[in-house]
Amino acid sequence: MTGANRISALPCGRWSKWVVILVWVVIVVVAAPMAGKLVHVQKNDASSWLPKRAESTEAYNLSRPFVPSDEYPAVIVYERDGGAVTTADRAKAAADAVALKSVTGKSKGEARRGIVSTVQGPVVSKDGRALQTIVNVKVGSSGWDLLGTGVKDFRKITRNGNPPGLSAHVTGPAGYGGDFGNVFSGFDKTLLLITAAIVILILLLTYRSPLLWMLPLICVFFALETAQGVVYLLARHAGLTVNGQAAFILTVLVFGAGTDYALLLIARYREELRRHRDRHEAMAIALHRAGPAIVASGTTVAISMLVLLVAELNSTKSMGPVMAIGVAVALLAEVTLLPAILVALGRWVFWPRRPGYGTTEPAEHGLWARAGTWIAVRPRVTWLGTAIVLGALSAGLFTLHTGPVANKDAFSAGKPDSVTGEEVLTRHFPAGTGSPVVIVSNAAQQPQVQAAASGVPGIVGVHQVGPSKGGVAYMEGTLTAPADSGAAFRTVKDARTAVHRVPDAAAKVGGGSAFNLDVNTASRHDQWLVIPIVLGVVVVILGLLLRAVVAPVVLVLTVVLSYAAALGVSALMFKHVFGFAGVDQSFPLWTFVFLVALGTDYNIFLMTRVHEEAKRHGTRRGALIGLAATGGVITSAGAVLAGTFAALGSLPLVFVTALGFTVAFGVLLDTFVVRSVLVTALNLDVGARLWWPSRLGREPAVTSPGERERSPAG
């Protein structure tokens, strides 16, 4: 037995399999309590998202002596239907202002505590038809969790016992934060159940076995608990930043990637069971032959995720290690725990379609074997036609609108009270109320800086807040446009230009609008930095795995074409079907990382098998055998991964719904069209030149007449 075979036999030995199972049970017993605490170390406050070198970050740091960094203003707006506010309306708003001071909030795992620091108002609008109260909410590090419960109580107080015709709404940063928090509240469990249900359904359809579907799912649950435990430890003790988005996407990625690796291994194990009487030997050979592809796939995804560490935006940067840990643990579970469980249970777990020794592998004459025969008739016409269609679909990219998405446009279903409240606020007060522009400067130049900011169109009421401290002056102004609008971002740019001109002032412009503007700028920077690095990583890994130069370049080009087509179709769907106003600037980067990294998985599944068969049968024959052997498992894996990402659509937020739809559609396009048709046609047309400069690249172009027309079964 070779060294490689000895290693592959470790998880499935007659005695070692029990050791592997026991070790994993111990790991999960230790990790599960920590996994349950992951929500307590999440950081969903704005400061955890800020780019470090952005001007809004510098302004934020300089503002800390003046304004608590963990406070968010909630804007309570009352509107009298059809007339001026009455004395009773004013009395109700004044009573509410007193009651609001006693509101408490509760985040997960914490006792309720007071969250209101100050209450300002109520004040009457200039048109006399509305009232406004500003409540500063102190959330600490709990972010959205605490805001969710607090804002619910604000709404109970302000809507209870109102005079007829008086409506009340809670909006502003805290109002929106509370609505976002309530959307996410409990969603981790809902997402887990939806994802598990989708995976179970697809596995049942794939295996048509009442038992086999359980094994990949058991391994995925073990991997998820372990990954969440590891992420918790790093967040608690090593400074890893974890936010709500990273936490629930981790669930989806572990389910999708882990099930993919399980499908590939089980398919190869089933093949080897037909060739070997001893199931331990069959699994050892399956691991030896399919293991490199699975490890290379997981490594590619993990490294691609780690590339996000070079990002400037903290929320993107923190996503990398979290996702990489999830993929790495899922990979480890599928190449150790799954083989051990499979050999421990024996062939009967495949019932009623047990792979008997000496029987024929169904894939040799299945759907993808017939598809390969069809593609082989005119491979050049096939790949050219497919590429043209994908290119046409990519044209939809020109309709994709990316950039800062207004809070009111961030919800994909329903109309939260914060959105209605903003509409009321805009009708009667300056639209930027509750989200001031912040200006900090050297104290000596404060009068000149204030004058410069006051002269900027779109900003009113610029004033100094409190005395100067440490030689720094703090000022605030109110935007006339909604704080998350394009007009507000243009005003912030103009304000920065104006105050930067004041000599020796070292003035900085921050606040909510400036923060969103800087996040958008950093996202655009990260997009152009991360994408080329990820492509380089994929080319290098494919080159090392296939020992070739041409094949990796060709494969990466197909991945990029697939990504562009998926994004093009998605852009058309967002505009004409879903009615989205736009998507976040970081959306193209996130979808790229997921689609390219995961699309490379299927490249590796297919091409490692083609490479293996090409050594025995030649490239063209190997391409047909590789498609027949892996077509079914690739499409099944794609269906699972697409289903898990589609589950994100159950969260009524535009960014998450858009991400789930695009990745799900892109994966299905990749598995059913790009990998199975386009790449196979290229294999047949380019032939042995794919493997240049390796020895395999010097094989004869066609080994025998009619080679292209033969089925994989020969």
The predicted structure's pLDDT at residue 563: 94
- What is the widest separation between alpha-carbon atoms in the chain? 96
What secondary structure does DSSP assign to 180-206, as a single string? HHHHHTTHHHHHHHHHHHHHHHHHHHH
Closest CA to 254 of 164, 327, 169, 348: 327
Exposed / middle / buried, residue 525 (Cβ in 10 Å: 0-12, 13-18, 19+):
middle
Q: Are 513 and 492 in contact (CB under 8 A)?
A: yes
Closest CA to 341 of 196, 206, 222, 254: 222
Please give the C-alpha separations between residue 90 and each of 57, 75, 87, 129, 281, in angstroms, as whole numbers: 39, 16, 5, 11, 82
The predicted structure's pLDDT at residue 239: 79
What secondary structure does DSSP assign to 147-159, as a single string? HHHHHHHHHHHHH
Tokens representing residue 451 in the block: 């004058």
C-alpha span between 233 and 317 (Å, rounded) = 18
Record the pTM.
Answer: 0.83
Phi, psi of 657 (to 5 degrees): -60, -45
| Distance, C-alpha 135 to centroid of its chain | 33
User: Across the strands, what pairs with 459?
Assistant: 479
C-alpha span between 330 and 321 (Å, rounded) = 14
Q: Are 141 and 126 in contact (CB under 8 A)?
A: no
Tokens representing residue 634 in the block: 């690739």
Q: Are 516 and 404 in contact (CB under 8 A)?
A: yes
Which residue reads 């996000």 in tokens? Answer: 308
C-alpha span between 348 and 340 (Å, rounded) = 15
Which ranges of the chain have pLDDT less than 70?
1-6, 8, 44-51, 69, 106-112, 140-145, 186, 361-365, 698-714
Closest CA to 464 of 136, 72, 67, 73: 67
Tokens representing residue 236 in the block: 């608690």
Please give the C-alpha separations between residue 50 and each of 234, 243, 434, 484, in angstroms, as whole numbers: 20, 13, 20, 16
> Which residue blocks in 547-689 are alpha helix, DSSP H?
550-573, 587-617, 619-646, 654-669, 680-686
Q: Are 494 and 456 in contact (CB under 8 A)?
A: yes
Which residue reads 């079964």 in tokens? Answer: 713
Q: What is the pLDDT of residues 184-225, one digit of tens each?
A: 776 777 777 888 888 888 888 877 888 888 899 899 999 999
Exposed / middle / buried, residue 500 (Cβ in 10 Å: 0-12, 13-18, 19+):
middle
Mean residue pLDDT of the chain comes to 86
Helices 512-546 and 314-345 pack at an angle, to 10 degrees, of: 40
| Distance, C-alpha 21 to centroid of its chain | 31
Which residue reads 């026991």 in tokens? Answer: 22
C-alpha span between 48 and 43 (Å, rounded) = 6
Which residue reads 């509107």 in tokens? Answer: 79
Element (H, E) at 167: strand 166-171
* 3-state DSSP helix/strand/coil % of the chain, to nearest 5: 70, 10, 25
The predicted structure's pLDDT at residue 17: 92
Q: What is the pLDDT of residues 473-508, one digit of tens each?
A: 999 999 988 888 888 999 999 999 999 999 999 999
HEC letters along 329-346: HHHHHHHHHHHHHHHHHC
Q: Are 526 and 480 in contact (CB under 8 A)?
A: no
Element (H, E) at 473: strand 472-479
Taking the CA of residue 393 as centre, how many other CA atoms within 13 Å lie in the half-sphere pointing to its CB? 20
320's CB contacts (< 8 A; 6+ apart) are 305, 306, 307, 308, 309, 311
How many DSSP H helices and E strands does the chain contain? Answer: 22, 10
What secondary structure does DSSP assign to 57-91, as a single string? HHHHHHHTTTS-TTEEEEEEEEEETTSPPPHHHHH
What single letter denotes the amino acid at residue 103? V
Please give the C-alpha separations between residue 275 and each of 282, 437, 667, 712, in angstroms, as whole numbers: 8, 72, 32, 18
C-alpha span between 112 and 105 (Å, rounded) = 5
